Structure formats: structure tokens, C-alpha cells
Chains A and B, each alone.
Chain A
């Protein structure tokens, strides 16, 4: 809309111009509004589900909203894969004054991950949730799931630093309650959710303090605008402080190694479907935010030359890869083992960031996707075990491979992908990371990546041994998981193989995303989208 792009005041809304523009936009239809609709539809579906309050309608509403988001995210991604960015102005107010939604390859890719995982988990969740959460809470459960989904998508979609914080809080608050809903099965979920609340809120507070510092010295909240102004003020101490606050705050949300303490408990005691959704999406979106701030807002030069960040992130990433894998080996609870393994996998993503090359960064972004589908598969398998065996401890699932062969076979595929066996998705991202290390001449780093994968072999083998080589217990419900769970589990398991064998799409999209991040969003050409 020409009047609005120029207009920073009501004068820009001159009746005639607005009407002509409106007519032009009606021709565009809803397609031009996709950047906001992808977030808005699940966000609207949540109160709608509560308002209707009908248990039978809730699931279809939730699933339809998630499906719409997936379609919208895919369509947005296909629009930006050429390297463009789509800008959408909320309320018709032009950035930097107004809130801008800015879609480029990086965040469109993240939105596809989040919404695809939601679509895969919802059919699976029906049986799992029915067993783990009392029926009277189902409406509220789905409303919270939708809010968490909308929040995560919003974090990815927005180009406004403060708006990002708001969406981060929407998703986090919904997540705390979702984790606490595990209390119907295990009361420890309540204390876990509380400590998650404390740590998560501390992280969010640090983040918003950092944003405050940036706003104080730049006077803007728009990320592209921030990037330009920060580049002009290299020696500003306030911006340095803001940078530190943002990194520590997001470090908490990402579960960067020494700040990871909330994660194992939250993943262990949450309802199975929630564990699967969180493990696959929440930390991934936080990694995206970290990437966005490190590379777009502050810019690689600022981040890595002024702040020497490589030597801060690199040791922490290595520590995560080894210490967390080592802890995972000694767990007796399957879910907790996977939670520690998640912390180790986040180490790989941070490693890719610290290496600061386009290959390594695409490795990080591909790993976001590959680890999401791998961990979703594994947590969904555990959810099926919990449904039949009543618990996720190793002693509960002894010999369950013979009782539930299909579920367990999918679990094995997920485990192989977690290790990074060739032919699975996990291999692709680790290969890119190793390549990135070799490009830099860091052959020792390549060796360390392989060495930590060997630790993954140990803990995955422990799970396989328990499931297959022990005698089944007598009191276990001797049935395969229901089909509504098996089908989504196998879709995820097969997709880990699919994306392991044909990696062109993921690696290509991640490459474009890495390029978009490394070049800084402000330089990208803008195309499409309503409102300008």
C-alpha cells in the first residue's frame, strides 16, 4: 500500500489512496497475508476451542489450524527460497515504527519445522493424551498446545525484537503449563514445571533487559533497523552489555550446556506428546533466535571480532557434546536419557555457529531440522511405551522389542539417526559440520565430532539392549501400540531415512538460510507480501 509505506502518520491513510490500495489488495486475496496468517490461525483457534468448549470439536480445530500453518509455512518457504525476503506491516504501519513480520529462508525453514512437527504429533497425541490427561482438561490442553505453536511460529515470523519477546513468552507460558500437565501421571511434573518456569523466566528477563539496552542506545526495535544502527556504533558499551544479556538469556532458552538444568526434568515428566513436541521445536526456535541476533542484528563481524564469541561458544559446545552424552549413558530413564542427548545435540548446533563459516552454519540449520524429526520419532516411541508399559524407566521396558516390534523398530531407526549412521538424517548434518571443520583446517574438531558420536552409540545401544535383549516382563500390556500412534511414528521414522538419503532439499534450504543470515537481512531484496 503506497500510502502506508510512506505514511508514519494518519495522513498516510488518505481515504482515496487507501481505497485504491485496498481494491488492489483484495485482488491479492489472502495469499499476501500469509506471513501473519501462519501465526494468527493457531492463535485464533486457541480461544475458539475454549469458547466452544466442546471436547469433540477441539481436536479437529487444533489439527486444522496446525495443518493450515504447515501449508502457509511451506508456501512462504517456497516463496523465499530464491533468496528474497517478504515483509508484512502489522496495522499498515511502516517499519521501523510499526511491527514488521519479515520472512526469509531462515525463519520460513524454522516455521516449516515447527508446524510439520505439530501436524505429525497431533494425530499421535490423541491416544497418548487420552491415557495421560483426564478428559475434562482436554479442551484446555489443546488450547495450550495451539498457543505454544502460535508462540513458536510468531517468534520465527516477526522482525521486531520486542514482538519476538512477547511471542517467546506466549509459547513459554503455554509450555510451562503443558509440562505441569504431566502431574496426572507423575507429581514430579509440578516441581519440574516450577523450576522450568523460574529458569525460563530468568532467561526471558535477561533477554528483555538486553533488548532494553539496545533500544536505549539505538531508539529502534526493528531488527533490520537495529542491525544498521549497531553497525555504526562499534564501541558502544551499552550495546555490548545488551549483547551479553541477550546471549545469556537465549542461552537459557536454548539449554546451552551450563544453563541446561531445566531441560532434563521438563522433558522427562511432561506428558509424552508434549515431550515430543517440545524436544523437536522449543529449543530449535531458541537456536534460531540466537542465530538471528548473532548474525542479523549484531552481524558476524561484531559478534565474532568485537566479542570473540567463538572462544566462548566453542568450549561450551564441546562440553555439551561430551558431558551431556556421558551423563546420558548413565541414565535409567529412557526419557531422561533422550533429554541429555538433546543437550548434547544442541552442542553440535552451537559448534556450527562457533565455526562461523557458511558450511558449518548450514550444518547447524540442517541439524535443527534433522534433530527435530529424529527426536520427535524417539520421544513418540517412548510415548507408545509409556502407554503400554506404564513408565519410561529401563526396567519398565525390558524386552519390549518383542512385544511391540513395530514401535521398537521405529525407535531403532531414530537411534541410528541420533548416532549419525550414514543413510539417516543425523548423518547429513554431522557430515556438514565435519566438512565445515575441515574447511577451517580444524581436523581435531572433526575427530571430536566423531568421538562424541561414539558416546551416542553407547547410550543408544543401552536402549536397544534393554528393549531387545532382556526377557519381557510378565505384567506388561502385551500389545502393539494403536495404529493412530504407529502411523505417525512411522511417518517420522521414514522421514529420518528419507531426509538422510535425499538431502538436496534440506541442505539447499539450509544453505539459502545460512546465506540469508550471513549476509544480514537488511541487504536482502524485498518481494511480495501485502502492505507496500
Chain B
């Protein structure tokens, strides 16, 4: 892709914009269409576009496969951890009231924000790992990295 000057320049400009839009969708998820799943896919698109234009190796310098796996787990843990927090503070699993017992409405908002954050992180990582699996047939995780 070295000779596709326009593609490369546009990609560099767009990658940041796409990420910004992903965060917009993420944080407006509670009161407009959107949320963690859509935002996660959009955020992954920024990485995938970069990888398509500048080679997989380049994008893997930013998001190496081992980090993608860890991020996937982290998002899931953020989601479940929100539930476990309410469980440990004496409420039912995923009862967001636990996050702000004196203002349950704020607790609900904070809860959905955390949970959607977990969804967004996991979806980004899953999309990326699917992309990596398609473009790199040989396993890229070295034996010593585990």
C-alpha cells in the first residue's frame, strides 16, 4: 500500500475521528441509540482500517494479540465485577442501586455506564481478534508469551 498516498493520508486522518465517534456512541448509549456493542465495533473499525492500509504488523505494534486477549477478559470482568460489587455490598447481583444507595437513579445510570463500558471493551477486543485470526493464519502468540 506504499504507493496509495491518498489512502494512507485519509486513513491517518480518519482513524482518530472514528475513535472519537466510537466514544460518542459509547457515552451517549444511555439516552440515545447506541451503546457498548456498537461503540466497540466502531472502535475496532479504526484499528482494522489502520491494519488494512498499513499492514497487520503495524497495527499489532499498538494492539499485540496477547493484549487483545487480556482486554477481552478485562471487559467481561468489568461487567461481571459491577454485578459482584452489588452482590458484595448486600444487594442482588447486578442491582445497580448498590453503586449509589442514597440516589438509586444515579446508581442505575452509573451501573449501565460501567456495564456498557465492559461490553465496549470486550466487543472491540473480540472484533480485533477475529480480524487477526483472518489475516494471520499462523498463530501469532508465541509459546513464551503465556
Contact = CB atoms under 8 A, between A and B. Distances in A.
A14 B139 CA distance: 53
Interface string B61-86: 00000100110111011001001100
Question: Which interface residue of B72, B74, B93, B142 has the most chain A CB atoms within 10 A?
Answer: B93
A53 interface: yes
B76 A10 contact: no
B17 interface: no
A53 B66 contact: yes
Interface residues of B, number: 34
Interface string B102-135: 1111011000000000000000000000000000
B94 A90 contact: yes
B95 interface: yes
B31 interface: no
Contacts of B142: 136
B63 to A, nearest CB: 16
Interface string A251-275: 0000000000000000000000000
Give the interface size bracket for A toward B. Answer: 35 or more
A54 B73 CA distance: 14
Given A51-B73, A531-B92, A13 B97 contact: yes
Contacts of A22: 89-91, 98, 101
B93 A36 contact: yes
B72 A89 contact: no
Interface stretch (A39-47, A106-114, A188-196, A202-210): A39-47
B10 interface: no
A53 B92 contact: no
Interface string B45-64: 00000000000000000000
A88 B92 CA distance: 8
B97 A18 contact: yes
B97 A50 contact: no
A392 to B, nearest CB: 27
A18 B101 contact: yes
Contact of B101 (A15, A44, A46): A15
A4 B92 CA distance: 10
A23 interface: yes
A19 B66 contact: no
Contacts of A14: 104
Nearest to B93: A36
Nearest to B66: A53
Contacts of A37: 87
Contacts of B66: 53
Contacts of B146: 53-55, 135-136, 138-139
B73 A48 contact: yes
A25 B93 CA distance: 12
B102 A90 contact: no
Interface string A233-261: 00000000000000000000000000000
Interface in A7-25: 10, 13-15, 18-19, 22-23, 25
Contacts of B37: none
B90 A48 contact: no
Nearest to A1: B92
A69 to B, nearest CB: 15
Contact of A15 (B90, B96, B104): B104
A44 B77 contact: yes
A19 B80 CA distance: 23
B92 A47 contact: no
A40 B92 contact: no
A426 to B, nearest CB: 39
Contacts of A43: 80
Contacts of A15: 101-104
A26 B80 CA distance: 20
Nearest to B76: A47
Nearest to B80: A44
B101 A33 contact: no
Contact of A50 (B69, B92, B94, B139): B69
Given A90-B92, A92-B95, A136-B143, 13 more contacts: A10-B104, A15-B102, A19-B101, A26-B90, A33-B87, A44-B80, A51-B70, A53-B146, A88-B93, A91-B93, A92-B91, A135-B143, A139-B146
Q: 9 tightest A-B contacts by CB?
A: A47-B73, A92-B95, A13-B104, A50-B73, A22-B90, A51-B73, A47-B76, A26-B90, A91-B94
26 contacts: A4-B95, A19-B101, A22-B90, A22-B91, A33-B92, A33-B93, A36-B92, A40-B84, A47-B77, A47-B80, A48-B73, A48-B77, A50-B70, A50-B73, A51-B77, A53-B146, A55-B146, A91-B93, A91-B96, A92-B95, A134-B143, A135-B143, A135-B146, A136-B146, A530-B92, A531-B92
